[in-house]
Chains A and B, each alone.
Chain A
Amino acid sequence: MAGNRILLLAVGFVFYLILQVVFLKNVVVFGTAFCFLYVLFILLLPIEIKTIPIMLIAFAMGIGVDIFYDTIGIHTASLVGMAFIRNTWLKTLTPTGGYDENLNPSLLNMGLGWYVSYSLPLILVHHTLFFFIESLGTNLFLPVVQKIIGSVIFVFIMSIIVQLLFYRRRRGI
């Protein structure tokens, strides 16, 4: 059973990485809204995974994306940052009665309201870190804020669409 789930996670990891670097790399709406859909993989990891494994997974994912984006370290730093606060944020949002076991904190499992308050701040943290580090050394402020807001909205909408299309209730990828 456990082996089965690890295999599923590994497949999901590779799937998101390939999706990101092959298909979504050049998807940039109006030159401001980037599609960093790979954060969804970290967001939807099962609830009972501890923070350390999540950070290690995020690190590997970040390096993988960075290699293709030629932004070595930037995706990694921001994704690890997001992974670090993920579980704390999950704990804060615990619904009355607690989480069920082996649950993905996804839109279908938890409902839209909960999902918005869970994912939006985390995506915002990731994107703020990313665009902030990326634009260090330049004195651009407005374009960066524009990119952050545009990308957060875009990724959030994409994440909802992907979950509605490809995820089932309860578990599975």
Chain B
Amino acid sequence: MQSILLFLYRIRVFLIFVFLETIAIYLIVSNNSQQGAVFFNSSNRLSGSVLSTQNNIIEYFSLSSVNKSLVDKNAELLSELEKYRQTKDGLVFDIDSSLVTGFQFRGAKVINNSINLSQNFITLNKGAKHGVKEGMGVFNEEGVVGRIKGVTENYASVISLLHTELLVSSKIVSNEVFGSTKWDGRNPKFAKLLYVPRHVVVKEGDQVVTSGYNAIFPEGIPIGTVVEVKPGPETNYLDITIELGTDFTKLSYVYLVENNAVEEINLLNEPKEDTDGRQ
């Protein structure tokens, strides 16, 4: 007995090493889920406040580009609005409630962002207090940004589109073919469009937008443009590279979208668990 204790005492350094590494690996694995507890990351109170203070200072340097993109978006929305303006001799009646789109939008500010790792996360300055929920879609005027992974009271953590495990259900505008956008971990400007069958004709310059099939994003939010089409290594699918519309190096303000019908849709998909978020 004593020799066992003596032995354990002699390898105590190694035992503590194994113990600490086990904790670390446990943290890594438990953090790998797509949604979940977010205590140990940048959206907790302490780190959130440090990051938002830091961002308050840095923000001034990007104000002009932020203003420009907001003005662009405003102009676009104004011209859109012009279409819906009532003419004097028009007639308006309410449409059936099943045709009303159930999307709600909110704004938020990015306070923490990374683009160079292979699993990047973004932190926003809005949390559960402001109505942010897990699974909401995040985008800005240029295109899709990511999906909410978890929320704390004041901050939210977002899985960036630049995360090698995030799939966004998308379609090519010109021929309405569906696929999944996924980042390959190499260059923050480009991503891959997966699961497009070989017989489809895809041209360079084709627009790729969200398909609206995964109940996270409404249909038609831009993702990027096709820059390269190759026959893929797998026999059935094309290897398509798209240039992302979103400039992740200059992320500042983003919009959050919530699908009010998401619970109902998920209920329909119940037997197949996991459908949410993976198209």
Contacts and interface: CB of A to CB of B under 8 A. Distances in A.
Interface of A: 21-22, 25-26, 28, 31-32, 34, 51-52, 55-56, 59, 62-63, 66-74, 76-77, 80-81, 84, 133-135, 137-138, 140, 143
Contacts of B13: 51-52, 55, 84
Contact of B117 (A22, A80, A134): A134
Given A66-B41, A68-B112, A84-B13, 11 more contacts: A32-B116, A56-B16, A62-B24, A69-B42, A71-B117, A71-B119, A72-B41, A73-B24, A73-B31, A140-B118, A140-B184
A80 B114 contact: no
Contacts, number: 102
B28 A63 contact: no
- Judged by DSSP, the binding face of B is mixed
B164 A137 contact: yes
B45 to A, nearest CB: 11
Interface stretch (B46-54, B75-83, B98-106, B266-274): B46-54
Nearest to A85: B17
Contact of B20 (A21, A34, A55, A70): A55
A135 B119 CA distance: 8
Contacts of B42: 67-70
Contacts of A143: 185-186
B116 A73 contact: no
Contacts of B41: 66-67, 70, 72
Contacts of B115: 31
Judged by DSSP, the binding face of A is: helix
A133 B32 CA distance: 12
B17 A137 contact: no
B25 A77 contact: yes
Nearest to B32: A137
Contact of B40 (A21, A52, A56, A72): A72
Contacts of B44: 67
A80 B17 contact: yes
Contacts of A59: 20, 23-24
Interface in B93-135: 112, 114-121, 123
A60 to B, nearest CB: 10
A62 B41 CA distance: 12
B116 A70 contact: no
A71 B54 CA distance: 19
A131 to B, nearest CB: 9
26 contacts: A28-B116, A52-B13, A56-B16, A62-B24, A67-B40, A67-B47, A68-B47, A68-B112, A69-B117, A70-B41, A70-B120, A71-B117, A72-B27, A73-B24, A73-B25, A73-B26, A74-B24, A76-B20, A76-B27, A77-B21, A80-B24, A84-B13, A134-B118, A140-B184, A140-B185, A140-B186
Contacts of B117: 69, 71, 134
Interface of B: 12-13, 16-17, 20-21, 23-29, 31, 40-42, 44, 47, 50-51, 54, 112, 114-121, 123, 157, 164-165, 184-188
A76 B24 contact: yes
B116 A34 contact: yes
Which of B21, B24, B121 has the most chain A CB atoms closer than 10 A to its own CB?
B24
A21 B28 contact: no
A113 B185 CA distance: 37
A66 B50 CA distance: 14
A138 B31 contact: no
A25 B40 CA distance: 17
A59 B16 CA distance: 11
A5 to B, nearest CB: 22
Contacts of A51: 13
Contacts of A80: 17, 20-21, 24
A72 B21 contact: no
Contacts of A28: 116
